[in-house]
């Protein structure tokens, strides 16, 4: 891997940071001004030169912020040794401005276009900056990293989430229309229930079991579908939580474990208040870690399979035919349940993202899965690698909060070490699978998440990555 | 089974087919316990922290129903 020396500049004006995107290549993401230190150039000189080239403005008084190493894989096989400086904007303050970088003396290099804007400094921005450029932002002021600012989202993520919402809405409407053919008298009851994630999950369950019932001419399955449709439990926006004893088995979607569809138990849900409180706290953990984008539209029904102890690994699964439903064992730790919910909801998110972006993946190209320890098609490896990249970030972020029990800290640290090692070892093949995603927005998001996972440091442990 | 019911089912399935809605289910993930890398190592680290005096939390999984 090639070592490249870089400078980055945190330019601040009235509590806001100067950031930019490349209008012609938005996939690179949100960045701060900076660039490569040239041979025989002093670090501070490089900062002034790069800032002038990229913004067209001179850099006045600057101060050293810190240094950091950043592994640029899978984007480039480079290790960046970054030096960060901070400056205060002394020029005319404009909300947004554009600039074209002129590479003087570099024949054949097309000028780059930058679109600048100011974003409020806080936790939301740290997470939004590409390839770890926000990592030292907390050093500008000790409190900035903890200031909860509105999250700045990547343009690609905003665009894909919008597509997913339309995709999910269309799917629910279509499920409803088709089920109305079978249950004409029940259609008015369910027609108002397509706007919440639980109601959509129930609709998908009713649809799935109705199709099986109709194919097999099995009236019991049709009755289950009707019972699901008639249920009012999906009206709430909160996930519907039930134990598998509230469910009927849908043998048509059997996959290693058994799939269940919710048939409900009237007004007496079987999950105890303790279990509900634990799962509410699990969702709070996901939000605390700034990762609720993955779960907002994917947590409809949670089917609890078995109760497991803290010393047992839990099983969980998601099925593309039952979007919005998550099947999982229950472990009495909100933090660990947060991991499970995030894991499965992220699979659902990616399923919908692939569908909404019309991505078709080849079935004949196989990639080694370090989780299944066998070759899998691109779909499987993309799902696993994307989800584990997100899970690693969840574990690292949760460790920063001083709220985990000692056994949860041990779990998070050892799991983080183990899975990060796996991802780093198989980075090339994961990256090759990601490059089969034909939609550039989704591909860029997947690659960025992978880059973040590779670069995670282990909070509370000695690290040589950051100085 | 009534003939009309069979006809209804057939019409429903025909409409499903025309709609293009998927009727098959692919496992997006089956995150099985045996697939957790280094689970024995993780388990021993949890055990070590629990042996340092921390108690194992328990949660009632089902609401008691008064008879």
SS3 readout for A270-309: CECHHHHHHHHHHHHHHHHCCCHHHCCCCCCEEEEEEECC
Most confident of A100-109, A145-154, A437-446: A437-446
Q: Is the pLDDT of residue A401 over 60?
A: yes
- Separation of alpha carbons A350 and B49, rounded Å: 35
Q: Model confidence at A111, in pLDDT bands (50, 70, 90)?
A: confident
- pLDDT score at A70: 94
Q: How confident is the model at residue A193 (pLDDT cuts 50, 70, 90)?
A: low
Contact partners, residue A417, CB within 8 Å, separation at least 6: A458
Q: Which of B26, B48, B62 sits opposite A270 (nearest CB)?
A: B62
pLDDT bin (cut points 50, 70, 90) of residue A280 is very high
* A146 confidence band (pLDDT: 50, 70, 90): low
CA distance A29 to A22: 8
Q: What is the pLDDT of residue A64?
A: 95
Interface residue A226 vs chain B (CB under 8 A): no
Closest of A436, A455, A404 to residue A132, by C-alpha: A455
Averaged pLDDT score across all residues of chain A: 85
Task: Give the gap in angstroms from C-alpha A274 to the nearest C-alpha of chain B.
Answer: 6
The answer to whether position A58 is within a domain reads yes
**How many angstroms separate the CA atoms of B30 and A254, rounded?**
12
pLDDT-wise least confident of A14-18, A227-231, A305-309: A227-231
CB-based contacts of A179, cutoff 8 Å, min separation 6: A186, A187, A190, A203, A206, A207, A210, A225, A229
Number of residues that this document lists for chain B: 67
Whether A332 sits inside 8 A of B57 (CB atoms) is yes
| Domain residue limits at A131 | 2-152
- Give the DSSP letter of residue A180: H
- pLDDT digit string, tens, across residues B3-25: 678 888 999 999 999 988 877 65
B26 vs B14: CA distance, rounded Å? 22
pLDDT, tens digit (0-9, with 9 covering 90-100), for A148-163: 455 667 778 889 999 9
Residue A23 covered by a domain: yes
Count of alpha carbons within 13 Å of A352, Cβ hemisphere only?
A: 29
Q: Is residue A115 part of a domain?
A: yes
Is the confidence at residue A105, as pLDDT, over 70? no
Instruction: Place A372 in a pLDDT band, splitting at 50, 70 and 90.
Output: confident
Q: What are phi and psi of A260, to 5 degrees?
A: -125, 150
Write down the pLDDT at residue A126: 80
Point out the least confidently predicted range of A67-71, A174-178, A455-459, B35-39.
B35-39
Mean pLDDT of A385-400: 94
Q: Is the pLDDT of residue A351 over 80?
A: yes
Identify the residue with better confidence: A34 or A125.
Answer: A34
Instruction: Tell me the nearest-neighbour CA distance from B36 into chain A, angstroms.
Output: 7
Query: Would you say residue A160 lies in a domain?
Result: no
The CATH number of the domain holding residue A35 is 3.90.79.10
Residue A429 inside a domain? The answer is no
pLDDT at residue A438 in the model: 96
| Domains in chain A, number | 1
User: Is residue A134 within 8 Å of residue A126, measured between CB atoms?
Assistant: yes
Selected residue of B2, B26, B31 to mutate for chain A interface (largest A Cβ count, 10 A):
B31
What are residue A70's DSSP bridge partners? Answer: A80
Start-to-end CA span in chain A (Å): 20
pLDDT for residue A265: 59
Nearest to A287 by CA among A178, A94, A124: A124
Q: Which of A318, A374, A327, A376 is nearest to A351 (CA)?
A: A318
pLDDT at residue B66, as a whole number: 32
Which positions in chain B touch A320 (Cβ < 8 Å)? 22, 25-28
Return the closest-CA partner of residue A300 out of A283, A278, A284, A277. Answer: A283
- b/e for A436-461, b at 16 or more Cβ within 10 A? bbebebbbbbbbbbbbbbbbbbbbee
What ipTM score was computed for the predicted complex, to two decimals? 0.73
Write out the DSSP string of A209-244: HHHHHHHHT-HHHHHHHHHHHH--GGGSSSPEEEEG
First and final CA of chain B: distance in angstroms? 41
Which helix (H) or strand (E) segment holds residue B8: the answer is: helix B3-19
Q: Place A390 in a pLDDT band, splitting at 50, 70 and 90.
A: very high
* pLDDT one-digit tens code per residue, A218-272: 888 888 888 888 776 666 778 888 888 878 877 665 554 557 777 765 544 567 8
Pairing of strands A240-243, A247-249: unpaired
Residue B65 has pLDDT above 50, yes or no: no
What share of chain A in percent tops pLDDT 90?
Answer: 47
When pLDDT is averaged across residues A169-188 and rounded to a whole number, the result is 82
Q: Return the pLDDT at A461.
A: 63
Residue A374 CA, distance from chain mean position? 25
Query: Nearest-CA distance from B54 to chain A in Å?
Result: 7
How far is the C-alpha of A385 from the C-alpha of B22, rounded, in Å?
Answer: 25
CA dihedral A147, A15, A136, A28 (to 10 degrees): 100
CB pairs under 8 A between A and B: 175
B66 touches chain A (CB under 8 A): no
Residue A441 lies in a domain: no
Residue A138 confidence (pLDDT): 82
Number of H helices, E strands in chain B: 2, 1
Q: What is the mean pLDDT of residues A8-23?
A: 90
A316–chain B nearest CA distance, Å = 5
A316 lies within 8 A of chain B by CB: yes
Q: Tell me, what's the pLDDT at A86? A: 94
Contact A159, A192 (CB under 8 A): no
In the prediction, which pLDDT does A1 show?
86
Neighboring chain B residues of A326 at a CB cutoff of 8 Å: none
Q: Mean pLDDT throughout A119-144? A: 80
3-state secondary structure of B49: helix
- Is A203 a member of any domain? no
Residue A444, pLDDT above cutoff 50: yes
What is the predicted pLDDT for the residue at A256? 47
Inter-chain CB proximity B46 and A344 less than 8 Å:
no
Q: Is residue A257, in this structure, part of any structural domain at all?
A: no
- Asked if pLDDT for residue A276 goes beyond 70, the answer is yes
Mean per-residue pLDDT for A33-39? 94
DSSP helix/strand/coil, A254? coil
Pairing of strands A240-243, A301-307: parallel
- Banded model confidence at residue A464, pLDDT cuts 50, 70, 90: very low
């Amino acid at each position: 891997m090639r070592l490249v020396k870089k400078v980055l500049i945190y330019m601040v004006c009235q509590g806001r940071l100067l950031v930019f995107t490349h209008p012609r290549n938005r996939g690179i993401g949100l960045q701060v001004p900076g660039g490569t230190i040239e041979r025989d150039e002093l670090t501070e000189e490089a900062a002034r030169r790069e800032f002038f080239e990229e913004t067209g403005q001179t850099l006045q008084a600057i101060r050293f912020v810190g240094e950091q190493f950043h592994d640029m894989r899978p984007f480039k096989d480079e290790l960046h040794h970054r030096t960060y400086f901070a400056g205060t904007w002394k020029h005319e303050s404009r909300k947004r401005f554009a600039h074209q970088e002129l590479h003087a003396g570099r024949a054949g290099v097309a000028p780059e276009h930058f679109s600048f804007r100011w974003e409020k400094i806080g936790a939301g921005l740290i997470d939004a900056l590409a390839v770890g450029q926000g990592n030292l932002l907390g050093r500008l002021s000790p409190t900035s990293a903890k200031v909860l600012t509105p999250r700045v989202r990547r343009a690609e993520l905003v665009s894909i989430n919008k597509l997913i919402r339309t995709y999910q809405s269309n799917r629910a409407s279509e499920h409803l229309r088709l089920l109305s053919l079978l249950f004409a008298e029940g259609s008015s009851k369910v027609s108002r229930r397509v706007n919440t994630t639980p109601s959509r999950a129930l609709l998908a369950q009713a649809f799935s079991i109705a199709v099986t019932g109709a194919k097999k001419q099995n009236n019991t399955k049709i009755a289950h579908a009707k019972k699901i449709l008639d249920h009012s439990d999906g009206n709430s926006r909160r996930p519907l939580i039930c134990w598998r004893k509230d469910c009927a088995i849908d043998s048509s979607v059997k996959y290693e474990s058994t799939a269940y569809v919710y048939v409900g138990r009237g007004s007496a849900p079987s999950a105890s208040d303790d279990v509900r409180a634990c799962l509410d706290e699990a969702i709070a953990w996901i939000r605390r870690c700034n990762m609720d984008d993955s779960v907002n539209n994917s947590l409809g029904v949670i089917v609890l399979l078995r109760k497991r102890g803290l010393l047992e690994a839990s099983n969980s699964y998601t099925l593309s035919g039952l979007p919005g439903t998550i099947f999982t064992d229950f472990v009495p730790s909100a933090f660990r349940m947060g991991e499970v919910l995030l894991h499965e909801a992220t699979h659902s998110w990616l399923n919908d993202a692939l569908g909404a972006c019309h991505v078709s993946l080849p079935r004949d190209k196989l990639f080694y899965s370090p989780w299944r320890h066998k070759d899998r098609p691109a779909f499987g490896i993309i799902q696993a690698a994307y989800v584990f990249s997100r899970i690693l970030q969840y574990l690292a972020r949760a460790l920063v909060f001083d709220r985990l029990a000692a056994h949860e800290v041990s779990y998070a640290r050892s799991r983080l070490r183990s899975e990060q090692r796996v991802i780093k070892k198989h980075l090339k093949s994961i990256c090759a699978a990601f490059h089969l995603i034909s939609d550039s927005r989704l591909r860029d998001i997947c690659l960025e998440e992978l880059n973040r996972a590779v670069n995670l440091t282990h909070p509370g442990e000695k690290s040589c990555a950051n100085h | 089974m009534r003939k009309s019911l069979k006809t209804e089912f057939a019409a429903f399935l025909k409409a499903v087919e025309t709609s293009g809605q998927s009727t098959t289910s692919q496992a997006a993930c089956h995150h099985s316990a045996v697939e957790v890398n280094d689970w024995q190592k993780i388990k021993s680290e949890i055990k070590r922290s629990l042996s340092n005096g921390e108690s194992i939390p328990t949660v009632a999984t089902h609401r008691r129903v008064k008879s």
